[in-house]
Amino acid sequence: MEIDKIIGMIQTKSGMSADEANGKVEEKYQELSGLVTKEGAAYLVARQIGIDVPNGNEIKINDVNENSRNVNVVGRIVNVSRINKFKRPDGSEGTVGNIFIADSTGQVRITLWSDQTQMMSEFKLNDVVQIMNGMVKKNLGSIEISLGKYGGIRKIDDMNIIPPAEHLSKIRRVTIKDAKTGNAEIAGTVIQVFNGKFIYSSCSICGMSTNDKCKRHKLENSMVLSAMIDDGTDDMRVTMFGKVAQNVCGVDMQELASMGAEQRYQIIRNNLEGKDFVFDGRVKLNIISDKLELLAENAKALNALEESKKILNEIKGVCD
């Protein structure tokens, strides 16, 4: 964490002025005869007055990807799921729950398994938490973090290092031309559905596909589809998984699974191409195509009346 942010936390916690806080840090730095950096001295001063500062090697949520290892992130809790029970193949009962955290760059799901779910009662909405040594994987197209054997989660002092939850949970509508990596809402017309298998087997609990050889849970059919959308400013590839894909498609997944590949493709094309939708999810850079694409977490048909009211409210807000 930058030294200016640590000094700001010291000021907030202690009531010191900027000069006083900087003086304390300089005093600690001189006391240790240059054995630590100025940032290290600031950490020590903060801890002495009872501030639980993140350890300094965190990355932003938007920078977390499936190749990340031993992830350390700090975020504010914006949602806590209920704890769900499931049966393992050996007949024993397991539990799983999710905590969703966000920072100014994006949002990510923290999945807790079995005994870890007991920790969920320790956290509430708006708490700032640090994830340490997290394990990253893709679940139905979205990035999620689990703790594994060596990971941990802890509540840390707020000190306004993360924006309030009500600001973080709002996803901003952007045009495709103005889209950047991170969470976003984009409205557009489907101009092409990419041909593919569409139906695959995955675990309803952990999201692993058949190829991942999930041994703990029960595999069932799931769905994936990719399409190109255009909003008049540019085009972008959108990928949807599971219920999001099925809801947009408008056809029962088991019915699709019983069809031949070409019939399935033509039905999905007919149901999507030329239609307007609003998608929200995570915009990321595809390193192969070097273009931005959207992994949709929600999707709905564009409602012209809702859009008109939204535009009128925006105009009214500007006029006021």
Residue 44 CB-density burial (10 A; 0-12 exposed, 13-18 middle, 19+ buried): middle
- List the one residue out of 103, 86, 99 whose CA is nearest residue 151: 99
Average pLDDT, rounded, for the chain: 83
What the block records as the tokens of 17 is: 């002025």
Higher-pLDDT residue of 216 and 181 is 181
Cα atoms found within 13 Å of the Cα of residue 285, Cβ hemisphere only: 7
pLDDT band at 240 (very low <50, low <70, confident <90, very high): very high
pLDDT of residue 315: 65
For residue 213, the model assigns a pLDDT of 53
**Which band of pLDDT confidence, cut at 50, 70 and 90, is reported for residue 207?**
low
Chain segment 103-150, per-residue pLDDT in tens:
888 888 999 998 899 989 889 888 999 898 889 987 766 789 998 888
**pLDDT level of residue 236 (50, 70, 90 thresholds):** very high
Largest CA distance in the chain: 76
Helix (H), strand (E), coil (C) string for 29-76: HHHCCCCCCHHHHHHHHHHHCCCCCCCCCCCCHHHCCCCCCCEEEEEE
Residue 76: alpha-carbon gap to chain centroid: 12
Give the single-character DSSP code of 181: S
pLDDT band at residue 24 using 50, 70 and 90 as cut-offs: confident
Q: What is the pLDDT of residue 232?
A: 92
Over residues 231-256, mean pLDDT = 90
pLDDT value of residue 63: 85
Q: With H, G, I as helix, E, B as strand and everything else as coil, classify residue 305.
A: helix
Lowest-confidence segment of 2-6, 41-45, 60-64, 273-277 by average pLDDT: 2-6
Q: Which amino acid is at 295?
A: L
Residue pair 101/107 in contact by the 8 Å Cβ criterion: yes
**With 0-12 CB in 10 A as exposed, 13-18 as middle and 19+ as buried, what is 235?**
middle
Mean pLDDT value of segment 30-40: 75
Whole-model pTM over 0.75: no
Chain centre to alpha carbon of residue 196: 26
E strands, 119-180, where?
128-139, 142-146, 152-155
